[in-house]
Amino acid sequence: MTKMLLCVIGALAISGLSSAQGPAAVSSTRDSNTPAPRPSAQIPAAPLYKLEDALLEWPLAPSEKAYSAIDGKHIHEYVEDLTAISRKYRDSGHPQFWGRIIGTQADTDTAEWVVEKFKKFGLTDVHIQPFDLPPQWMPQSWEITATGSGKTLHLESAQPAYQTKATTPEGLDLEAAYVGTGSEADFAGRDVRGKAVFIFSMPLPGSWRHTATAEGAVRRAEAKGAAAIFAIIALPGNIRTQLYPTGTNVPTFSMGMDDGYAIRDLIGQAPAGQAPRVKVRLDVKMEPGLKTGTVWGTLPGRTDETVDILAHRDGWFEAGTDNASGVATMVGLAEYFSKIPKDRRRRTMVFIGTTGHHNGGNMSGTWLLDHRDEVFAKSALLINCEHTSTVQTYLLGEDIRKANMYTGMLWYAGGPRRPKLQDIAVKAFHDAGVVTYATPERAAPGGEMSRLWPFVPGVQASDYNVFFHSDH
Ligand SMILES: [Zn+2]
C-alpha cells in the first residue's frame, strides 16, 4: 500500500503537472456551453475507470475464508433488482412522488421479490403477514413557479415534506422572501406574514438532518406567519430530497441548491417594492384501503434458538442505500446460509422483510414490538440490515466527489449491557473490513431497531450519507 502510494507520488512529481496549470488549461478551452470558470482549484476531470469496477477490496483473513462465497458484486445485483422496482413505479404514472412506497404496487412487487428469493433458496414457512394501512398521504402532483424581473423559474427540485398540507386546486400566489438560515437574527425586522419563505439549510450531512429543521427555522418561519416554506438543502447540484414530517401546518417543501440559488438571486435582483411572486400548488390524496405486509422465511438449524435477520423493504426514490442495500444483504445472507448443511447451522435463522417506516405507520415494527416476547423469545441475536453499504462521498468545493471505497458506518452491538457481543462485533467488523465510526452509538442508530434494541441483543451498522432520502 505504502509502496503503491509512493509510486503514485513519484509519477505525479515527474509529470510536471501543477495545480496552477490544471484549471487554467480547462478554462482556456472552454466554449459557450461549458460553465463559467470556478474559483476552486479542484475541478473533476473525465473518469479514467468505471467506479464500480475499481472499488478497493479487503482481502479476507485466512480465518474468514469460509465467507468468501458472500460476493458483493453478486449481492449488488439484488440492489439493481430493487431499484428497478422503484423506477418501474415512477414510470407508470408517478413521476414526482415515487419509490418503494408503502401500500403501492412497488411495495407489493418488493414483497413478492423477497418471497421468490426465499422460496428459491429453500427457506421454510415463507409467507406474507398482511396489514391494512390507515389512509396514506399520497401527493398526486405539485408545481412551484417564481416570477420576477421578467423571468419565470420552474422550481422542479421542490419536494413536499412527508405529510405536508395540500393547497387548494387553484394554489397559492405569494410574495417571496429569503431569510438566510432562518435564525432569529435572520428574521429580525422582517415581516414574512403571508409570504413564501425560503430558508438556506446546511445539511448534517444530508437532508435527513439539516439546519432548517435542527435549528427550528422551519417552525420559526411558520410561527412568524409564513404561508409556504422552502428549505434549500445546500448540497451542490439540484438534488431532490424527501423530508420527514416537519410538523408545520402550511405547505412545506425541500429544494435543491441550484433552484434555491436561482430564487435567492431573483429575490436579490428585484427592484424595491417588486418582490417576485411564487405560485404553489400541491394536490394530495389521503388514500384509504391500501395494504402492506411483513415477509417471513425460516432456515431451520440444529436448535430452536434463533438468529433473526431483518431489513425494511421500503424507501423513497431508487432507495439504493435506504434500503435496497439492507434488503440485498438480508437476501444475500439467506442465500449463503441456505447452502450450509442444516446440521452445521447451530441456530435457526429467521428472515424478516418489514414494511418499513417511511410513512405514517410502522406496521411491521409496531407488530414486532407488541409481540416481542413471543417472536424474540429464543433470539440469540437480531441483525438489522439497514443502509449496509454506500460508496464514500466527500463535499469538496462545488462538488460531491465519490471515492472508490465504502463509507464508515454508525454502529451498535448491544451496548454496555452486552460487552461480549460488542467484542465479537468489533472483531468481526475489523476482520471483514467493515469501516465503522470510532465509537458505537448509545442505542441502535435508527430505523427498524430503534424500538427493539432494549429488548433483544442486536447488531446494526448503518450509513447515513449526503444522498440519504434523495433522488441521487
Ligand atoms: Zn432505513
Dihedral angle, C-alpha 251, 281, 199, 188, nearest 10 °: -70
- DSSP string for residues in 264-314: HHHHHHSPTT-PPEEEEEEEEEEE-S-EEEEEEEEE--SSS-EEEEEEE--
Question: Is residue 25 in a domain?
Answer: no
Of 285, 303, 330, the domain-final residue? 285
- Asked which of 269, 285, 301 is the last residue of a domain, the reply is 285
Secondary structure (3-state) at 141: strand
> What domain range includes position 424?
64-134+289-462
- What pLDDT is attached to residue 445? 86
- The number of folded domains in the chain is 2
272 and 298 in one domain? no
Residues 252 and 167 in one domain: yes
**Residue environment code for 291-328, b if the CB has 16+ CB neighbours within 10 A, otherwise e:** bbbbbbbbbebeeeebbbbbbbbbbbbbbbbbbbbbbb
Same domain, 308 and 447: yes
Is the domain of 272 the same as that of 306?
no
- Report the separation in Å between the CA atom of 463 and the middle of ligand 1, taken as the mean of its atom positions: 9
Q: Are residues 171 and 107 in the same domain?
A: no
254 in the same domain as 293: no
Quick: pLDDT tens for 243-259: 999 999 999 999 999 99
Residue ending a domain, choose from 246, 270, 285: 285
- What is the whole-number distance in angstroms between the Cα of residue 386 and the centre of ligand 1? 5
- On whether both 443 and 349 belong to a single domain, the answer is yes
Whether residue 322 lies inside any domain: the answer is: yes
**2 C-alpha to ligand 1 centroid (Å):** 37
**Helices and strands, number each (H, E), in the chain:** 12, 19
Q: Are residues 422 and 360 in the same domain?
A: yes
User: In terms of domains, do 178 and 319 share one?
Assistant: no
Same domain, 226 and 128: no
> What is the domain-level CATH number for residue 172?
3.50.30.30
Q: Are residues 416 and 449 in the same domain?
A: yes
Q: What is the mean pLDDT of residues 10-19?
A: 36
- The residues whose Cβ lies within 5 A of ligand 1, an ion, are 322-323, 386, 447
Contact by Cβ (8 Å): 138, 97: yes
* Domain identity same for 129 and 142: no
Question: Does 279 reside within a domain?
Answer: yes
Cα of 276 to ligand 1 centre, how many Å?
Answer: 38
Q: How large is the average pLDDT for residues 87-93?
A: 98
The confidence score (pLDDT) of residue 64 equals 86
| Distance from Cα 322 to the centre of ligand 1, integer Å | 5
Q: In this structure, is residue 19 part of a structural domain? A: no
Q: Please indicate, yes or no, if residue 110 is contained in any of the structural domains.
A: yes
What sign has the CA pseudo-torsion 88, 94, 98, 101?
negative
**What's the CA-to-centroid distance between 243 and ligand 1, angstroms?**
13
Stated pTM of the model:
0.91
Interval between CA 316 and ligand 1 midpoint (Å): 10
Q: Residues 165-201: pLDDT tens digits?
A: 999 999 999 999 999 999 999 999 999 999 999 999 9
